[in-house]
Amino acid sequence: MPLANNRQKRLRGAAQIREIARRIRARDLEMICDAGTGHIGGDLSCTDILATLYFHVLRHTPEHPENPHRDRFVMSKGHCAGALYAVLAEAGFIDADELSTFMAPESRLNGHPGRMKTPGVETSTGPLGHGLPVAVGAAMAAKMENAAWRTFALLGDGELQEGSNWEAAMAAAHFNLDNLAVIVDRNGLQQGAPTETTNTLEPLADKWRAFGWETAETDGHDIDQMMGVFDGLPLKAGRPSCIIARTVKGCGVSFMQNKVEWHHKVPNRDERARAALELARAKIS
Amino acid sequence: MNAEVHDCRDAFAAELLRLAEENPDIVAVCNDSVGSSKLGEFQKRWPERLVNIGIAEQNMVGVAAGLANGGKIPFVCAASCFLTGRALEQIKVDIAYSNANVKLCGMSSGMAYGELGPTHHSIEDFAWTRVIPNLTVAAPADRAETTQAVRWAAQYAGPVFLRLSRMGVPDILPPDQGFTPGQAVQLREGAAVTFIANGTLVCRALEAADILRREGLSCRVLNMSTVRPLDREAVEKAASETRGIVTCEEHSIYGGLGGAVAEVVATSRPCKMRIMGVPGRFAPTGSASWLLDYFGLSPAKIAAAGRGLVRSR
Ligand SMILES: Cc1ncc(C[n+]2csc(CCOP(=O)(O)OP(=O)(O)O)c2C)c(N)n1
Ligand SMILES: [Mg+2]
């Protein structure tokens, strides 16, 4: 099984993953500044989660992105395509050089991930609330085949205001999809305001549990801790798993952290230089 | 295009403020889109009259229908792609079929979101909305018409979909033109061909007509901001009095303004036609202006379509 080839690559220590995450952040900053558009706050908030998934959790074969035995990863918060492309490059799905085409005319690296555009993208996203139903379907297919591959979906917290997520959550529990895990990027901010002053999500873990999911909470920037949680999947046999990752929007750049305007603001020259400096010497967790 | 251009969302927001001042029943409803719908000032002035429902478009449109049921006049402000695509059945049933007095304001329609890609482009919204009975569907061409259309919608008792853009457009219509749904506004007279355009493509159609005028072909230009109800009479006159019709819209060539005009032409006054718009495929990555040129929606290409129509006789 070619999946085994990837074992070496997957089994990295937290320190190495942390360094990968640092590189992704730095590259993402460049991509967004060069393109003049992007979603830097949410990118920086999910970078450690993406790095942990791609370099510790997911069983995949970048050289065969359509390997039927691969674990599926669905990037439901599609506006954070920049972070996704940077991790896909680190993992070898695309060439690192291609990242400089981010959002340029005819680039494969669109502002939102397209399944027909970029290798490694399982389904096209951008409109929020699409990823989980697709992930539920994929997990169902694996169950029908008695296959060992698993399905993961990364969701924004504001995204959870979309009703489609809760329709899918109900179905996942009903069909006992313990081969499915959701990671919620719980940074507390959405596009224009905090989630709790817009449309309250708390008590969030209780909601998932009431829908029949087993839940765990983790620091979404503590790679050791996240590795431990992911190693324990499924959290409970017969139940889908929801991991609520507490994160900081804009994590890694002091003046972006927890600032709602950095949802999609683009750094000017001075901000870019300061952010790059911080990311060059960053020790996130 | 050398003329100064304006983002029509500013005219929209300014007029909504004036209307809200005059009529306390007017409320704004949005989906985490206070900024992109330019509702910041509205929120400051009347926080209790702005309902930010969160990222939940189906709920947003249903809630607006309920607010209307309770006597409010909701202006629902959201990116056009999500407002129409996500909440289409709510628009059909809760708004149009139930005749709810709701004003749906689709922001940043067409390909204005450029490199954010086909998920964020709204080039299907005319097709989706204009088949729904009892829904007025309009795309203003500039800030003056936007102002007039918003004012008209507020006093009209019934469902309206206003398709707005964030792409800058020059001033085209006189500020006192008024807005009458179902009535095209003739911007140029001529007998060679008729350009029928709306929204962001009106200024490009005018430029195309200028190009042809310099070649001795005088063309009629109609601003057809409402695609439902359509000004059938203006289409029939164009079909009889000029040598053909070229429609121009920042929308798919299927089911939009071109489709609506073709339905009249085919069933009542057959004439030669060209439909200029976005061809039926998903756009590559690219900025809004790059995509307009890529898909042949430049004044030069529009003029070429008109020229071709004249020569094809
Ligand atoms: C259906 C839909 N409605 C609205 C938007 C516009 N939008 C893009 S990102 C965003 C906020 C997302 O917040 P969250 O899910 O918390 O993401 P994060 O904080 O991780 O960036 C919004 C409203 C969208 N992409 N899709
Ligand atoms: Mg968030």
Ordered by start, the domain boundaries in chain A are: 9-280
Q: Which of B142, B83, B146, B145 is nearest to B109 (CA)?
A: B83
Inspect the interface and report whether the beta carbons of B287 and A190 lie closer than 8 Å.
no
Tell me how far apart the alpha carbons of residues A101 and B147 are, in angstroms, rounded to a whole number.
Answer: 39
Please name the residue of chain A whose CA is at the shortest distance from the CA of residue B52: A198
Nearest to A128 among B34, B52, B55 (CB): B55
Cβ-based contacts under 8 A for chains A and B: 93
Q: Does pLDDT of A285 surpass 60?
A: no
- Among B15, B57, B124, B249, the active-site one is B57
Cβ(A30) – ligand 1 distance below 6 Å: no
Residues B159 and B195 both lie in one domain? no
Residues B196 and B158 both lie in one domain? no
- Residue B180 falls inside a structural domain: no
Please name the residue of chain A whose CA is at the shortest distance from the CA of residue B33: A192
Residues B214 and B136 both lie in one domain? no
In this predicted structure, what is the pLDDT of residue A6? 47
The CATH number covering residue B241 comes to 3.40.50.920
Residues B125 and B247 both lie in one domain? no
Active site residue B57: yes
Please name the residue of chain A whose CA is at the shortest distance from the CA of residue B85: A127
In this predicted structure, what is the pLDDT of residue B3? 84
Low-confidence ranges of chain B (pLDDT < 50): 1
Out of B128, B163, B198, a domain closes at B163
Please list, in sequence order, all residues whose beta carbon lies within 8 angstroms of the beta carbon of residue B265, skipping any fewer than 6 positions away: B235, B239, B245, B271, B273
Inspect the interface and report whether the beta carbons of B116 and A111 lie closer than 8 Å.
yes
Residues B226 and B154 both lie in one domain? no
Please name the residue of chain B whose CA is at the shortest distance from the CA of residue A161: B55
Would you call B310 exposed, middle or buried from its count of C-beta atoms within 10 A (0-12, 13-18, 19+)? middle
Q: Does pLDDT of A4 surpass 80?
A: no
Residues B196 and B298 both lie in one domain? yes
Compute, in angstroms, the gap from residue A189 CA to the centroid of ligand 1.
Answer: 10
Query: Is residue B164 within 8 Å of residue B140, measured between CB atoms?
Result: yes
Give the distance from residue A103's alpha carbon to the nearest chain B alpha carbon, in angstroms. Answer: 6
Nearest CA to ligand 1 atom 22: A191
Cβ(A90) – ligand 1 distance below 6 Å: no
Task: Please report, to the nearest 10 degrees, the dihedral formed by the alpha carbons of residues B130, A163, A222, A118 taken in order.
Answer: -30
Angle of CA points A258, A261, A266, to nearest 5°: 110
Which band of pLDDT confidence, cut at 50, 70 and 90, is reported for residue A10? low
Cβ(A82) – ligand 1 distance below 6 Å: no
Lowest mean pLDDT, pick from A45-49, A279-283, B54-58, B231-235:
A279-283
Give chain B's domain count. 2
The number of angstroms, rounded, from the C-alpha of A282 to the middle of its chain's C-alpha atoms is 20
In this predicted structure, what is the pLDDT of residue B2? 61
Which band of pLDDT confidence, cut at 50, 70 and 90, is reported for residue A8? very low
Residues B12 and B145 both lie in one domain? yes
- Residue B95 falls inside a structural domain: yes
Query: Is residue B154 within 8 Å of residue B73, measured between CB atoms?
Result: yes
Q: What are phi and psi of A261, to 5 degrees?
A: -65, -20
- Residue B3 falls inside a structural domain: no
Compute, in angstroms, the gap from residue A75 CA to the centroid of ligand 2.
Answer: 14
What is the percent of chain A where pLDDT is above 90? 94
Is A9-280 in CATH node 3.40.50.970?
yes
Compute, in angstroms, the gap from residue B109 CA to the centroid of ligand 1.
Answer: 17
What do you get for the CA distance between the two ends of chain A, in Å? 35
**Of all atoms in ligand 1, which is nearest to the CA of residue A195?**
16
Residues B156 and B34 both lie in one domain? yes
Query: What pLDDT, in 10s, does the model give residues A65-74?
Result: 999 999 999 9
Query: What pLDDT, in 10s, does the model give residues A102-156?
Result: 999 999 999 999 999 999 999 999 999 999 999 999 999 999 999 999 999 999 9
> Which residues have C-beta under 5 Å from ligand 2, the single-atom ion?
A 156-158, 187, 189
Give B294's contacts in chain A (Cβ within 8 Å).
105
- Residue B229 falls inside a structural domain: yes
The stretch A54-74 carries a mean pLDDT of 97
Query: Is residue A198 within 8 Å of residue B50, measured between CB atoms?
Result: no
Q: What is the mean pLDDT of chain A?
A: 95
Which band of pLDDT confidence, cut at 50, 70 and 90, is reported for residue A281? confident
Tell me how far apart the alpha carbons of residues B58 and B270 are, in angstroms, rounded to a whole number.
Answer: 40
Nearest CA to ligand 1 atom 25: A127
Lowest mean pLDDT, pick from A11-15, A241-245, B112-116, B117-121:
A11-15
AA identity, residue A29: L
Residues B158 and B191 both lie in one domain? no
Please list, in sequence order, all residues whose beta carbon lies within 8 angstroms of the beta carbon of residue A264, skipping any fewer than 6 positions away: A37, A38, A39, A40, A41, A79, A191
Per DSSP, chain A holds a count of helices (H) and strands (E) of 10, 5
In this predicted structure, what is the pLDDT of residue A284? 53
Give the distance from residue A202's alpha carbon to the nearest chain B alpha carbon, in angstroms. Answer: 14
Nearest CA to ligand 1 atom 18: A42
Residue of A46, A128, A262 to test ligand 1 pocket, by largest number of atoms within 8 Å of CB: A128
Which band of pLDDT confidence, cut at 50, 70 and 90, is reported for residue A3? low
- Optimal mutation site among A199, A263, A264, interface B, most CBs of chain B within 10 A: A199
**Which ligand neighbours the alpha carbon of A160 most closely?**
1
- Residue B172 falls inside a structural domain: no
In this prediction, the answer to ipTM > 0.85 reads yes
Inspect the interface and report whether the beta carbons of B120 and A111 lie closer than 8 Å.
yes
Answer whether B51 touches A (CB < 8 Å).
no
Compute, in angstroms, the gap from residue A255 CA to the centroid of ligand 1.
Answer: 21
Tell me how far apart the alpha carbons of residues A79 and B55 are, in angstroms, rounded to a whole number.
Answer: 14
Inspect the interface and report whether the beta carbons of B115 and A124 lie closer than 8 Å.
no
Give A125's contacts in chain B (Cβ within 8 Å).
119
Tokens 């190009």 belong to: B211
Query: What pLDDT, in 10s, does the model give residues A191-206?
Result: 999 999 999 999 999 9
Q: Which domain holds residue B193?
A: 185-311
Q: Are strands B220-223 and B185-188 parallel, antiparallel or unpaired?
A: antiparallel
Question: Hey, which residues does A3 pair with through a beta bridge?
Answer: none
Answer whether A106 touches B (CB < 8 Å).
yes
Residues B142 and B199 both lie in one domain? no
Tell me how far apart the alpha carbons of residues B171 and B175 are, in angstroms, rounded to a whole number.
Answer: 9
Compute, in angstroms, the gap from residue A117 CA to the centroid of ligand 1.
Answer: 21
- Residue B1 falls inside a structural domain: no
Q: Does pLDDT of A5 surpass 50?
A: no
In this predicted structure, what is the pLDDT of residue A283? 63
